Amino acid sequence: MRDILDVHTHTLVSGHAYNTMMEMVQEAQKRGLEVFGITEHAPQMPGTCHEFYFHNLKVVERQYGDMELLLGAELNIMDDKGTVDLPEKELKKMDLTIASLHIPCIKPGSRDYNTECVIQAMKNPLVNIIGHPDDGRYPMDLEAVVQAAKDTHTLLEINNNSLNPRSFRQHTRENDTEILKLCKKYQTPVIMGSDAHFYTDILNHCYALELMEEVDFPEELVVNSQKEKLYAYINKNSL
Ligand SMILES: [Zn+2]
Ligand SMILES: [Zn+2]
């Protein structure tokens, strides 16, 4: 499968990742990416940066040779209203946004509650991607999530980090298998993300690719193969 973009990565700024922005950019260029994204954890994640970090992203150059850099945030979904932890005016200025459920920011609730949290976040037009919807610590009605992704024009992520056998997320393989089967059924596109917290993981989609092959997932539903496919789903406000 052609795979030329990775937009879910973190730097030192997130507080539990280990490279600088330029180290990540240079490695992404070396690996031949056409589009590279850095999405630091939003302010409710312990140890991450202040809102001002996101406010000033305009100063960062976005083009590196043939590679385009996208800067955004991995937002925390805070409740079943789909509340996220940065104001709308900041989200509007970002190139792209991911919204995810994280244990330090929201405790898992019932299956209905978790499902509602994610669906309400997707209804926010400034949320582009749902990060790691496969985390079994937050059981969800995955069929409802996939249908809502289609209805709200939001991408669901197949997170490579989740599928790493060392991951602390649970039941990810069975949940990603179900998500992929449902996305195939409903013709809902997905995005692979490395969720790299270290430069060696940039564009590492090995487990996601393996699983897609296993369920015979159609390449046309994977936005990583062509940047225009991704552009249809994100804000891209820097361009
Ligand atoms: Zn995350
Ligand atoms: Zn992440």
CATH of the domain at 177: 3.20.20.140
The residue-averaged pLDDT of 128-141 equals 98
The residue-averaged pLDDT of 125-144 equals 98
What is the number of other CB atoms lying within 10 angstroms of the CB of residue 52? 9
Indicate the number of domains in the chain: 1
Query: How many angstroms does the Cα of residue 39 sit away from the middle of ligand 1?
Result: 10
Asked if 78 contacts 105 with a C-beta cutoff of 8 angstroms, the reply is yes
The dihedral through the CA atoms of 231, 84, 56, 38 has a sign that is negative
Share of the chain above pLDDT 90, in %: 97
Q: Helix or strand or coil: residue 111? A: helix
The residue-averaged pLDDT of 213-234 equals 97
Is residue 201 one of the residues assigned to a domain?
yes
Query: How many angstroms does the Cα of residue 178 sit away from the middle of ligand 1?
Result: 20
Q: What pLDDT does 239 receive?
A: 41
Interstrand relation of 5-6 and 63-64 (parallel, antiparallel or unpaired): unpaired
Query: How many angstroms does the Cα of residue 132 sit away from the middle of ligand 1?
Result: 7
Asked if 100 contacts 77 with a C-beta cutoff of 8 angstroms, the reply is yes
* pLDDT tens sequence across 88-110: 999 999 999 999 999 999 999 99
Residues 6+ apart with CB under 8 A from 47: 14, 15, 16
Is residue 236 one of the residues assigned to a domain?
no
Query: How many angstroms does the Cα of residue 36 sit away from the middle of ligand 1?
Result: 17
Please, what is the Cα angle at 90 between 85 and 93, to 5 degrees? 140
Ligand nearest to the CA of 197: 2
Is residue 238 one of the residues assigned to a domain?
no
Q: What pLDDT does 237 receive?
A: 55
> Angle at which helices 172-186 and 142-152 pack, to 10 degrees?
50
Is residue 237 one of the residues assigned to a domain?
no
Query: How many angstroms does the Cα of residue 57 sit away from the middle of ligand 2?
Result: 18
Is residue 32 one of the residues assigned to a domain?
yes
- Given a cut of 70, whether residue 3 has pLDDT beyond it is yes
| pTM attached to this predicted model | 0.97
**How far apart are the two ends of the chain, measured CA to CA in Å?**
27
- Given a cut of 90, whether residue 183 has pLDDT beyond it is yes
Query: How many angstroms does the Cα of residue 148 sit away from the middle of ligand 1?
Result: 20
Provide the 8-state DSSP code for 213: H
Residue 19 is encoded by which pair of tokens?
Answer: 């490279």
Q: What are the residues facing 192 on neighbouring strands?
A: 158
Greater pLDDT, 237 or 2: 2
Domain around 59: 5-231
pLDDT tier at 236 (50, 70, 90 boundaries)?
A: low
Ligand nearest to the CA of 102: 1
Closest CA to 114 of 97, 130, 96: 130
For the chain, what is the largest distance between any 2 Cα atoms, rounded to a whole number of angstroms? 47
Is residue 27 one of the residues assigned to a domain?
yes
Residues 6+ apart with CB under 8 A from 32: 4
Q: What pLDDT does 235 receive?
A: 78
Q: Helix or strand or coil: residue 141? A: coil
Is residue 239 one of the residues assigned to a domain?
no
Query: How many angstroms does the Cα of residue 195 sit away from the middle of ligand 2?
Result: 5
Query: How many angstroms does the Cα of residue 173 sit away from the middle of ligand 1?
Result: 16
Averaged confidence pLDDT in the chain: 96
Query: How many angstroms does the Cα of residue 129 sit away from the middle of ligand 1?
Result: 11
- Given a cut of 60, whether residue 30 has pLDDT beyond it is yes
